[in-house]
Structure 1
C-alpha cells in the first residue's frame, strides 16, 4: 500500500467522522448510510483499475471499521450537549429566583428552550448563554451567585432594575465576559476583587449605585479594559496609581464619589484615554505639570474638588474639547496660553479664586461655545476681542470685579444666547450694539454702575425671556419699546433712578412672570393694562411715587402669587384684590388706603404688617380701628344729613309704590347684550341632557345655598367651581364664570349648544347652562378624583399614588379626547388651554378633558388670531408667543408638557425652574431618566416604555410646529404601549440582538433616538411606531 493511498483512505475516514458527528447530532442515519456506500462503492473510484479498485475498497473498508469503532464514543458528545443545555436553563432559573420580579416580566422563563427567553441570547453553535440583557425591567432583588456558572457569558446588562445587595464574587468566574453594565441600581458593598480575573473584560459600568470602599488596584490587571465608569457611588480612598498605566483605557468616569488624594504625575501614561472625569470628589493638590503630555484627552473635568495652586502653563498644550476646572481653589492669573487651545468648545474656570485680567488672546477661540469665568476675582476691562468668538453661545462673567465699559464689540456675537455681567463694577451706558445679538435669550447686568438710559433698541431682541438691569444708576423713562419683546418672562428694572409713568403698553407682555419696578422714582397711576398680564406671578412696584387706585383689573390675575405696592401714595381700598386666589404675599403698607380689609376669599391670611401705615384702613387684627369702641367718637353724619336721607328715602318709596300699582302689559323679552345687562331679564336655565335633574334656577340656588363658599371645590382662571347634589342625588359641577362675555346671549348660547352636542368618553360633557345678565353658570359632569394636577402636585391631598399603568391610561385618554376635538369635530375645535388642571379623573381614574369649545371653534380653512392671551404659563407653545396664532399643534405642545408632568411628577413651572428646560438639559447630559417620578420606578414593568414616552413628549414639544406629530399619531403610539399584543414565542422574535460593539456609555441616550420605537409584535403596531420616522431624531434637534 502506497503512502498516497493510505493518505487518501485516512482523508475519507476523516470525512466520515465529520459526517457522523453531524448526523448523530441531527439523528440523520440515512445520510450516514449514503456516505458509506459512496465511499465504499463505485462512485469512489470510477477510473481505477481492478487492483486499484480492490485496494480502494479495502482501505475504505478499514475507514468504515474505524468509524464504527468511534461511533460509541460520539454519542456521549450528543448527550453532553443536551446536559449542557439543561445546566444553562437551570442556572438561569436560579438567577431568576434572586429577582423579586414582582411584575412578572420574566413570565416566559419556562420550558426547555431557554434561548428564546426574554433577554437571553445564545451562541448559535454551542447553545451556551452568550448575553443577558435585562436592562430597565425593574426586576428588584439581588444578583444571584449562580451567574458565575455562565462560563460563556460575553455580555451582562442589568442596568436600571432597582437591584440591591452586593455584586457576587462569583462574577469573576464568568471568564468570557467582555461587557458588564450594572448601572442605575442600589448595589452596595465593595467592588469584588474577583473582577480582576475577567481578562477579556472591555467595559465595566457600575455608575449610580451605592458602592463603598476603595477602587481595587487589581483593575489595572485587566489588559483589555477600555471603559471604566464608577461615577455616582460612595467610593473612597485614592485613585489607584496603577490604573494610570493602562494604555488601553479610553474612558475613566469617577465623578460623584468621596475620592481623596491628588492627581498622580503618571496620569498621562494613559495614552489612549480621551475622557477623564473626577467631578464632585475631594481631590486636593495642584494639577500636575505633566498635564500637557496628555495629548489624547478630549474631555478633562476636574470641577468641584479641592484642587489648589495656579493653573499650569502646560495645560495649553492639551487639545481638549471640554476643560472644566470650576468650583476649586485655583489662584493666580488665567494662563494666556489657553487662547491657543483651538479645539475648545467648553471652557469653565468659574467659582475659583483666579485674579488678574481676562487675557485678550481668548478672542482667538473661534470654536468655543461656552465661556464660564464667573465667581472669581478678575479685574480690569472686558476685552473687546471676545467679540471675535464667533460661535459663542454662553458668556458668564458675573460676580467678579470687572470695570470699564461693556464693549460694543459684543454685538458681533450674533449666536449669543446668555450674557451675564452681573455683580461687577462696570460703568457707562448699555451699548446699542447689544441689540445685534439677535438670539440673546438672557441679559443680566444687575449690580453694576451703569448709567444713561435704557436703549429702546433692546426691542430687537425678540428671543429675550430674561432682562435684569436692576441695581444700577439708569435714568430716564421706561422705553415703551420694551413692550415689543413678546417672549419676555422676567423684567427687573428695580433699584435705579427711572422716572416717569409706567407705560400702559407693558400690558402686552403677555408671557411675563415677574415684573419688578421697585425703588425708582415712578409717578402716575398703576395702568389698568397690567390686568392683561394673565401669566404674571410676581409684581413689585414698591418704593415709588405711584398714586391713584389699585386697578380692578388686578383682580383678574389668577396666577399672581406676590404683590408689593408698599411705600407709594395709592388711595382707595383693597377690595379689587379679593379675587386673586393664588396671592400668598401682599404688602400695601404705607400708602393712603382707606376702608375695611375684607376677610372673604381667605384674605385674612395676610399679616397685619401688610397693611401698616394706612391710617384710614381698618381690618380684622387686634387694635384696628374697626374693632375700637365708638362711644366717645363724634358722629360721622350730622343730624341734618340724617333727616335729609330719611326724607329722600320716603320720596323714593312713594315713587316705587306708584310704579307698582300702575297697570302694565306683560314684558317683552329681547336678545340683550351681556355687556349691557337689563335688570328684568330672568335667569335662563337650559338642560342639554336628561340626566341633569335641575329643573329651575331656584333649585340651583337652594341646593347650593346661593352658591355658598362651602360648596366651592376649585378656582380657575375664569371661574369658580361648585359641587351641587342634584335631585336624583347625582353630583354636578357648577362653573360660575367671573366675567360676562362681550357678545350677545344668542351667540353665546349657540356656542354652548355646540359644545353640549359633543360627546366622547374622554371629554367632560356640558349638561346644561344658566345665563343671565347678572351671572352665567355652566353645568358639567362631576369627576370624583378631581384633576390630574391635584393628584400629581397637591401633596397630602393626593388620593392615590399613580402607578405607571394608570399614568399611561391617563395619557392615552387625554390624547383620545384631544384627537377627537382636532380631527372628528365639525367645525374642528382647538382647546387652547391643555394642562393637567383641565384633565379630570373619574372614579376609575379615566381621563376626561374639560374647558374646551367655548369661543374656540375654528373654520376648517382658517387659523384663529386673538389678542387675548390664551393658555397657561408653562404650557404655552413658544410659537404662539411669537406669532399669537393658534392651531392644533399648539395643543400638541401643551399636551407634551402634560406628558412630562406625568413622567416626572413635577410642575411645569416651579419657582424659577421650567420643566421643559430641565428635561432638555438632562437629555443633553444623558441623565433624563434621573427625573422619573419614584412612583413610576416602583411600579413600571419595563422602563423602556418610560423612555419611549419621554421621546413622545419631546416630539410633541419640538420648537417647530411642523415637526410635531398630530394627536391621531400620538394616540396610535400610546395605544400600542397600553394595549400591546401578546409576545410571539418563536426564538427568532424573542432572541435579543448581539451585544453591541459600540461602548454603551456612548449609547446611553441613543435609546431615546432610535427609529424602532416600539416592539409590538403585530405589523399594524409596527407601522404606527414608524410614524416617528418622519420627525427625525428627537434629542439632537429638539433645541433648534
Structure 2
C-alpha cells in the first residue's frame, strides 16, 4: 500500500512538472508562430524537444523558464498576447533591438517575478500600464528606450521600489515627470531624454523638474536632455553625492546655474548646453575635481571664467561656445594634461591664449574663433600630433604661425582667417596629407607658396586671399588633382605666369587669381576646368589673347578678365557659355566685335577698339558725311535721349522700391500684386508664371506642388507653389520659403538645381526652377522606364549627385546640409545629368547653434538612425541618406518594400543581410543591369555600405565619397577585337557558371570588396 502511494505521488509530481514544461514550451512555440524570424535564429525551437530549456535565448531554473533573451534578434511582428500567463517564473525578458511591435501584452504583468525587462529599440507602442509598479514589484531594470510609447508616465512607476535602472529615453512620452520617481531610493540610472514633457504647476514642480529627485541619493546618471523642461534648475543636488553624469541639455531652462550643483563632488560629465541659462559659471565649479566634460554652450551666460575652473586637472572637454563670456582665459588651463576638445568660440574673450596650451598630448580640436583674443598663437597645440582642427578666425592674433604646425600631420582643417598673422606659412603645412580646408585669408602672411602643396591631395578649399604672398604660383598645385574645389589667391603680390598645370584641377568650381601681378597669357588648359562656375583673373598684367578653350566652361556664371593687357578679339566660342551672367573684359586692349550672345551682360569699357552690336559699324554709317557741328549735335541728342530713358527707368525703379517698402511696412497694397526676385539672367515676366493650370502638375511633396510652365519663347520652367499656410503656421511657412530662397539663390553648381527666380504676393510664394525633362531618379528607377538606365547612366547620376552634395558640405560658407536626400529629390536633365533639388528643409549652418533641430526632418527609409533619436543634424546624416540612394541604384529596389524586406525592415538591413549571407549576395544586384557591370556595381555597393554605417563617425565625408566614386568609375568595355580574343576565356567562365560556380564567384568577389 505504501509503495503504491509513493508511486502515485511520484507520477503526479512528474505529470505536474511535465505539464508545466509543456505549457511553457507551447507558449514559446505560439510566440514563434506569430512572428517572423528572418535569420532563422529560433530554428531549434521545436516541439519535439522535451524541454524549451535548450532552446536559443531560453534559460531555465529548476526546469522552468526564467530567462527569455532575444536581444538584437532579427525578429518582427506583433508581440503576441496570452503567452506570458504561462511564463510565471520569468525573471529576465529582453527583446530589445528587435522589430517586435504592438502594445505591451496585458498578461506580461502576470510575470510578477520579473527583475529585468528590456523592450528598447523596438516598434512597441501604446500606453504604459497604469498598474505597472504594482504588478512588477521586484523589477530592478526597466528599459523602454527608443520605442513608440505615448501618453504620460504613470505615477505607479514610483512603486518600483527595487528599481536600479530606468531608461525611458526617446519614447514620445508627454505630460510631466511624475514626482513619485523620488520614491525610487535604489535608483542608480535615470535616462529620460528626448521626450515631450510639459509643465504642470499643480504637481509640485519647479519648472518641470520635480524637487523630489533630491531623494535619489544613490543616483549615478541623470539624463533629462531634449525635453520641454522649462523654468529654473531646482537647487536639489546637495544630497545627490553619487551623481557622476548630469545631462539637462537641449531644454528651455532659464536663470542661473544653482550653487548646489557645485556639491556634486563625484560628477564627471555635466551637459547643460542649448538652454537659456544666464549668469556666470559658479565659482564653486572648482570643487568638482573629477569633472571630465563641462558643456554650457549655446546659452545666454556671461561673466568671466572663474579661476577655480583652471584647477580642474581631469578635464578632457571644455565647451563654452556661443555665450556672452568676457575676460581672459585662466592660464592654468594650459596645464591640463588630458584636454582633447577646447571650444570657446563666439564669445567676447580677450587677452592671450595660454602660451602653454597644448600640454595635453591628446588635444584634437581647438576652436576659439569669433572672440577678441590677441597675442601669439601658442606653439604646442599639436604637441601629441593629434590635432585635427585649428580654428582661430576672427580674432586679433598677430605674429607668425609657429613652425611646429608644419609637422602636424593629423591636421584636417586650419581656419585662421581675419587676424593679423604675419610671416611665412610653416613649410610643412602646405603639403599636409590629410588637410581638407586651409583658410588663411585676410592676414599679413608673406613669403612664397610652398612647392609641397602638391602633396595635399585631400585639399578641397585653399583660400589665401588678402595677404602679401610673393613669388609664383607653383606648378605643383596641379598635383592636388580632383580634390580641390575652391582656390582663391586674390589680393596678394604673386608674380610670374599662371601655370599650365592648373588645368589638372578637374573639380575646381571657383578660381580667383585677381589683384596680383601675374604676367603671361591665360593658359588654354583652364578650358579643362569644366566645372568652373566663377573665374576671376582681373587686375593683373596678363597679355595675349583670350583662349577659345574657355568656351568649354559651360557652367561658368562669372568671367572677369578686366584690368589686364589682353589683346585680339573676343572668341566666338564664348557664345556657348549659356550660364554666363557677368562678362567683364573692361580696360584691356581688345578689338573687334563681341559675340551677340555676350552683349546683355558684358562690360567692355576701356577697350576703345572693341564694340558691341549696333555700335559696331552702324554708328559710323550714321554719322558719315555729317559736318563736325552736326556730329556734335547728334552725339548730344543721343546723350540726352539716353539720359531721359535712364531717368524714366530710374524713376520706375524708385517707385517700385518705394512701393515694396510700403508693402513690407504694412501699408495696404493691391492684394494680388506680385514681387519677383531674379537670381539668374532671365526674362521671365510675372504674368507668365502666376496663372498656374492644375492640368500641368508634375509633382507634389511636403512643401508644395510643382507645375510645368511653358514660356512664350518656348522654354520650360518648373514652378513650385508652396502650400498655403494656415494662420497658425504662417511663421513656419515663411521660414520654409525663405530657407529655400536663401539657400538656392546664391548657389552656382552644375549638380544643384538652378533657382531662376522667386515670386510672391500677400498669400502665395512661388519658386521658379530650371525644368528637368527626365523628372526625378525615383520616377525612372522605380517605374517601367527603369530599363533605360544602364549602369553607366546610373553611375553618372550617382557621381553627379555626390558632387552636388559635396559642394554643399565642403564649398559653401556657411556649410549647407540638405536634410532630405532621396531619389525623388535628384532631378535629371535631358542628358540624365543629376541635379540635387528641394531645399525646403535645408539647413544652413551659419552658427553651430543650428546643429540641433526641433523635429526630425527627412523621409522614411532615408533617415539616419542617430537622427531619429538625437535630432543632431550633421553632414553624416546626409551621407547616410545618400548611401540609401546608392543602394537604390545598385539594387533597383525602393528603400521601403514591406513585402520584400518585412514590415519593419528597410533596404539597408536587407542589403546587410545579403552581404552576410554568401549564398544570397548576387540577389542585391539589379537584373536590369548587364552582368558585365557586376564588378563595377559591387564597388559602388561597397561605398553604399560605408555610407550607411550605423556609427556616424565611421561614415566617410562627402568629399571622400566623391573620391571613392572616381576610383569606382566603370571601365571601358572591350572592343570587338578584344572580345574575340577573350571569347575562349569567357566560354570557360560560362561553363563554370552553368556548373553552379558563377554565383559563388560573384559572392566571393563582393566579400573581398566589402572586406577591403
TM-score computed with the length of structure 2 as normaliser: 0.56
| 1:373-402 per-position Cα deviation (integer Å, ceiling 9, x unaligned) | 222333222233445343222222222222
1:157 corresponds to 2:157 = no
Instruction: State how far apart, in whole Å, the 1-side matches of 2:284 and 2:603 are.
Output: 63
Unaligned runs of 5+ in 1: 1-11, 30-104, 637-707, 715-788, 798-834, 857-867, 879-896, 959-963, 985-989, 991-1006
Residue aligning to 1:634: 624
Instruction: State how far apart, in whole Å, the 2-side matches of 1:938 and 1:406 are.
Output: 42
Verify the 8 A CA contact 1:557 1:580 in the aligned structure 2: yes
**Residue in structure 1 matching 2:536, options 533, 540, 564:** 540
Residue aligning to 1:595: 593
Instruction: State how far apart, in whole Å, the 2-side matches of 1:382 and 1:371 are.
Output: 11
**How far apart are 1:349 and its partner, in Å?**
2.8
Verify the 8 A CA contact 1:374 1:399 in the aligned structure 2: yes
Farther off after superposition, 196-205 or 253-262? 196-205
Instruction: State how far apart, in whole Å, the 2-side matches of 1:189 and 1:509 are.
Output: 57
**Residue in structure 1 matching 2:419, options 409, 413, 424:** 424
Instruction: State how far apart, in whole Å, the 1-side matches of 2:902 and 2:424 are.
Output: 69
1:572 corresponds to 2:572 = no
Q: Secondary structure at the match of 2:356?
A: helix
Residue aligning to 1:266: 260
Q: 1:851 to 1:393 in 2, by over 3 A?
A: same
Verify the 8 A CA contact 1:294 1:318 in the aligned structure 2: no
Q: 1:902 to 1:219 in 2, by over 3 A?
A: same
1:512 corresponds to 2:512 = no
| 1:730-756 per-position Cα deviation (integer Å, ceiling 9, x unaligned) | xxxxxxxxxxxxxxxxxxxxxxxxxxx
Instruction: State how far apart, in whole Å, the 1-side matches of 2:538 and 2:777 are.
Output: 35
Residue aligning to 2:296: 302
Q: 1:459 to 1:326 in 2, by over 3 A?
A: same
Q: 1:124 to 1:480 in 2, by over 3 A?
A: farther
Residue aligning to 2:809: none
1:844 corresponds to 2:778 = no
Verify the 8 A CA contact 2:377 2:397 in the aligned structure 1: yes
Q: 1:365 to 1:937 in 2, by over 3 A?
A: closer
**Residue in structure 2 matching 1:874, options 802, 805, 808:** 802
Instruction: State how far apart, in whole Å, the 1-side matches of 2:186 and 2:596 are.
Output: 77
1:902 corresponds to 2:822 = yes
Instruction: State how far apart, in whole Å, the 2-side matches of 1:336 and 1:904 are.
Output: 54
Within-5 A mapping of 1:723-762: none
**Residue in structure 1 matching 2:444, options 449, 466, 471:** 449
Instruction: State how far apart, in whole Å, the 2-side matches of 1:1010 and 1:176 are.
Output: 38
**How far apart are 1:300 and its partner, in Å?**
0.9
Farther off after superposition, 447-456 or 457-466? 457-466
Verify the 8 A CA contact 1:1008 1:1034 in the aligned structure 2: no
Q: Secondary structure at the match of 1:458?
A: helix
Instruction: State how far apart, in whole Å, the 2-side matches of 1:314 and 1:133 are.
Output: 41
**How far apart are 1:453 and its partner, in Å?**
2.3
| 1:241-290 per-position Cα deviation (integer Å, ceiling 9, x unaligned) | 10353233332222233322223333242234322111122323332232
1:289 corresponds to 2:283 = yes
1:133 corresponds to 2:119 = yes
Instruction: State how far apart, in whole Å, the 2-side matches of 1:264 and 1:118 are.
Output: 42
Instruction: State how far apart, in whole Å, the 1-side matches of 2:312 and 2:115 are.
Output: 48
Instruction: State how far apart, in whole Å, the 1-side matches of 2:194 and 2:154 are.
Output: 17
Which entry has the higher C-alpha Rg, 1 or 2?
A: 1
Q: 1:1010 to 1:874 in 2, by over 3 A?
A: closer
**Residue in structure 1 matching 2:475, options 468, 471, 480:** 480
**How far apart are 1:870 and its partner, in Å?**
12
**How far apart are 1:474 and its partner, in Å?**
1.7
Q: 1:124 to 1:1038 in 2, by over 3 A?
A: farther
| 1:910-939 per-position Cα deviation (integer Å, ceiling 9, x unaligned) | 89x9x99999x99xx998998761465899
Verify the 8 A CA contact 2:804 2:835 in the aligned structure 1: no
Q: 1:113 to 1:549 in 2, by over 3 A?
A: farther
Instruction: State how far apart, in whole Å, the 1-side matches of 2:381 and 2:876 are.
Output: 38
**How far apart are 1:496 and its partner, in Å?**
1.0
**Residue in structure 2 matching 1:215, options 164, 188, 209:** 209
Q: Secondary structure at the match of 2:225?
A: coil
Instruction: State how far apart, in whole Å, the 2-side matches of 1:627 and 1:851 are.
Output: 53
Verify the 8 A CA contact 2:339 2:363 in the aligned structure 1: yes
Q: 1:200 to 1:615 in 2, by over 3 A?
A: farther
Q: 1:238 to 1:618 in 2, by over 3 A?
A: farther
Q: Secondary structure at the match of 2:310?
A: helix
Within-5 A mapping of 1:408-807: 408-435=403-430, 437-486=432-481, 487-570=483-566, 572-573=569-570, 575-583=572-580, 587-588=584-585, 592=590, 595=593, 598=596, 608=601, 625=615, 632-634=622-624, 710=714
Instruction: State how far apart, in whole Å, the 1-side matches of 2:261 and 2:594 are.
Output: 74
**How far apart are 1:345 and its partner, in Å?**
1.2
Verify the 8 A CA contact 2:864 2:880 in the aligned structure 1: no
| 1:879-911 per-position Cα deviation (integer Å, ceiling 9, x unaligned) | xxxxxxxxxxxxxxxxxx999932896999989
Unaligned runs of 5+ in 2: 1-5, 24-74, 86-94, 200-206, 627-711, 719-748, 758-773, 807-816, 828-833, 925-940, 961-1012
Residue aligning to 1:705: none
Q: 1:793 to 1:194 in 2, by over 3 A?
A: farther
Verify the 8 A CA contact 2:819 2:857 in the aligned structure 1: no
Within-5 A mapping of 1:131-210: 131=117, 133=119, 135=121, 137=123, 151=136, 155-157=142-144, 159=146, 161=148, 183-184=169-170, 190-197=176-183, 202-207=189-194, 209=196
| 1:740-791 per-position Cα deviation (integer Å, ceiling 9, x unaligned) | xxxxxxxxxxxxxxxxxxxxxxxxxxxxxxxxxxxxxxxxxxxxxxxxx999
Instruction: State how far apart, in whole Å, the 2-side matches of 1:28 and 1:461 are.
Output: 69
Q: 1:1034 to 1:229 in 2, by over 3 A?
A: closer
Q: Which has the higher contact order (CA 8 A, sep 6+)?
A: 1
1:395 corresponds to 2:395 = no
Q: Secondary structure at the match of 1:443?
A: strand
Q: Secondary structure at the match of 1:252?
A: strand
Instruction: State how far apart, in whole Å, the 2-side matches of 1:898 and 1:352 are.
Output: 28
Verify the 8 A CA contact 2:819 2:842 in the aligned structure 1: no
**How far apart are 1:294 and its partner, in Å?**
1.2
**How far apart are 1:545 and its partner, in Å?**
3.5
| 1:347-377 per-position Cα deviation (integer Å, ceiling 9, x unaligned) | 2233333333332322422221122222233
Instruction: State how far apart, in whole Å, the 1-side matches of 2:624 and 2:365 are.
Output: 72
Residue aligning to 1:57: none
Q: Secondary structure at the match of 1:553?
A: helix
1:118 corresponds to 2:101 = yes
Verify the 8 A CA contact 2:558 2:581 in the aligned structure 1: yes
**How far apart are 1:477 and its partner, in Å?**
2.0
1:238 corresponds to 2:238 = no
Instruction: State how far apart, in whole Å, the 1-side matches of 2:458 and 2:621 are.
Output: 63
1:108 corresponds to 2:47 = no
**Residue in structure 2 matching 1:378, options 357, 373, 380:** 373
Instruction: State how far apart, in whole Å, the 2-side matches of 1:226 and 1:220 are.
Output: 13
**How far apart are 1:20 and its partner, in Å?**
11
Q: Secondary structure at the match of 1:290?
A: helix
Instruction: State how far apart, in whole Å, the 2-side matches of 1:461 and 1:634 are.
Output: 62
Q: Secondary structure at the match of 2:243?
A: coil
Instruction: State how far apart, in whole Å, the 2-side matches of 1:126 and 1:313 are.
Output: 51
Within-5 A mapping of 1:308-327: 308-327=303-322
Count matched residues.
695
Q: Secondary structure at the match of 2:390?
A: strand
**How far apart are 1:569 and its partner, in Å?**
4.7
Q: 1:264 to 1:408 in 2, by over 3 A?
A: same
Q: 1:150 to 1:28 in 2, by over 3 A?
A: closer
Q: 1:242 to 1:500 in 2, by over 3 A?
A: same
